């Protein structure tokens, strides 16, 4: 899957998790850019990405990823 395809799929997950179809994420998007992206939502987001892409994040990924781009890096490595 290309980075663009992954980004698109991740964007759909954001719509679902935050229940807001107007969200547009780019590689540079961070938690500060998305309203409601708090630690609680982060957990839900992580779980949804895991089930959508069929792998499990490591603990360091969950606490370490700085933006959507880094999330895509991890997804791509699986």
Partner 1 sequence: MIPSFLQLKKNSKKDKSGLPGYRMVLVGDCATQHIAQAVSGYAYEEGIGLELLDTDYDQIFAQVMDPDSELYQYQADAILIVMCTEKLYEAYCGAPVGDRDRFAAEKYEEICRIWKRLQEYSHPETGRKMKILQFNFAEADDRCFGNYANRVESSFLWQLRKLNTLLMQGAQSEEIYLVDISYVQNLLGRKQFHDEKLYYLAKMPFSTEALPAVAREVIGIVKAVMARIKKCVILDLDQTLWGGVIGDDGLEGIQIGELGIGHAFQEFQLWLKELTKRGIILAVCSKNDEEKAKEPFLKHPEMVLRLEDIAVFIANWEDKAGNIRKIIETLNLGIDSFVFLDDNPFERNLVRSMLPEITVPELPEDPALYLSYLKELNLFETISYSEADQDRTRQYREEAGRTSLKQQFATYTEYLEHLGMVAEAKPFDAFHIPRIAQLSQRSNQFNLRTVRYTEEEAARLAEDDRYITLYFTLRDKFGDHGLISIVVMKKEEDTLFIENWLMSCRVLKRTMEAFVVNIMLEEAKKADAVRVVGEYIKTPKNAMVEHLYEEMGFQPLGEGKYEIMTAAYQKHETWIERGE
For partner 1, which is the closer residue by CB, 15 or 30? Answer: 15
Asked if residues 25 and 65 have their Cβ atoms less than 8 Å apart, the reply is: no
Does residue 59 touch partner 1 according to CB under 8 A? yes
Among the listed residues 2, 22, 32, 40, the single contact to partner 1 using CB under 8 A? 40
> Measured between alpha carbons, how far is 4 from 13 in angstroms, rounded to an integer?
14
What is the DSSP secondary-structure string of 20-35? -TT----TT--GGGST
Residues near partner 1 (CB under 8 A): 16-17, 19, 39-40, 43-44, 47-48, 51, 56-59, 62-63
């Amino acid at each position: 899957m290309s980075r663009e395809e992954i980004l698109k799929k991740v964007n759909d997950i954001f719509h679902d998790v935050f229940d807001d179809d107007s969200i547009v994420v780019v590689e540079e998007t961070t938690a500060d850019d998305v309203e409601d992206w708090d630690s609680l939502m982060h957990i839900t987001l992580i779980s949804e990405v895991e089930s959508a892409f069929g792998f499990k994040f490591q603990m360091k990924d969950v606490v370490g990823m700085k933006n959507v781009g880094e999330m895509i890096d991890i997804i791509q490595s699986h």
